[in-house]
Amino acid sequence: MCYDRYVSICKPLHYGTLLGSRACAHMAAAAWASAFLYSLLHTANTFSLPLCHGNALAQFFCETPHILKLSCSKSYLRELGLIAISTCLVFGCFVFIVFSYVQIFRAVLRISSEQGRHKAFSTCLPHLAVVSLFLSTDLFAYLKPSSLSSPSLDLALSVLYSVVPPALNPLIYSLRNQELMDALRKIMPGSLQKQ
């Protein structure tokens, strides 16, 4: 998403070349493949852990940190290693997002018209807000000290980072589509009246 925003704002004349159907398919395939590999590694490792404190979790999801609490051997160190590697990869993606948004904001601030800046910011800021909400709640859920851990807080955090961001995306894009429909109604007043 941030690469799409970066190209559309910073390199608008190259948008068709840089983000053609082939590039989008490659990015989607890479995201799906890496997510599948990531989940496969965690699932295989989690199922190999011996559990000695029962297997019942009072959680919204069966998440890795809570399963590790049920483990009774040192084999959970493999999972911690996977989480450390994953954290490094996520940090690399985060740096890419930050770099992209710095470039976007620099380009937007150079736009001379107030309306153009407003349109560019209204396109980028909702995405940035959703990404920030997801990352901040996810990081807090996984990196908070165990002294702050409580079932209600863990439940609230897991709902915040797993349910709220995906639910906000359609809302954000439907708002953008409404603006698009209003603009089309102004351009072609008779053709969109039936909808």
73-114, pLDDT tens digit by residue?
A: 666 677 677 778 877 887 888 888 888 888 888 888 888 888
Query: Do 61 and 43 touch, CB atoms closer than 8 A?
Result: no
Q: Tell me what the mean pLDDT of segment 20-43 comes to.
A: 84
Residue with structure tokens 């990081």? 139
Q: How many domains does the chain have?
A: 1
Give the residue, 56 or 107, on which the prediction is more confident. Answer: 107
pLDDT band at 194 (very low <50, low <70, confident <90, very high): very low
Among 11-25, 55-69, 170-184, the range of highest mean pLDDT: 11-25
Give the residue, 29 or 154, on which the prediction is more confident. Answer: 29
Predicted confidence (pLDDT) per residue in 80-91, tens digit = 777 788 778 878
- Does some domain include residue 33? yes
Give the residue, 167 or 185, on which the prediction is more confident. Answer: 167
Q: Positive or negative, the Cα torsion across 34, 39, 40, 45?
A: positive
Exposed/middle/buried for 88, CB within 10 Å: 0-12, 13-18, 19+?
Answer: exposed
pLDDT at 195: 47
Give the residue, 66 or 143, on which the prediction is more confident. Answer: 143
- Does some domain include residue 176? no
- Does some domain include residue 150? yes
Q: Please give the backbone phi and psi of residue 62, each rounded to the nearest 5 degrees, phi first.
A: -85, 80
Q: Please give the backbone phi and psi of residue 55, each rounded to the nearest 5 degrees, phi first.
A: -130, 20
- Does some domain include residue 157? yes
- Does some domain include residue 15? yes
Residue with structure tokens 């000290």? 145
pLDDT at 109: 85
Domain limits for position 33? 2-162
- Does some domain include residue 194? no
Residue with structure tokens 């609230």? 156
What is the spatial distance between Cα 45 and Cα 90, in angstroms, rounded to a whole number? 19
DSSP letter for each residue of 95-142: HHHHHHHHHHHHHHHT---HHHHHHHHHHHHHHHHHHHHHHHHHHHHH
The pTM for the full model equals 0.61
Residue with structure tokens 């994953």? 86
pLDDT at 56: 65
Two structure tokens written together for 67: 């399963």
- Does some domain include residue 154? yes
What is the spatial distance between Cα 101 and Cα 24, in angstroms, rounded to a whole number? 19
Q: Tell me what the mean pLDDT of segment 48-67 comes to.
A: 67
- Does some domain include residue 187? no
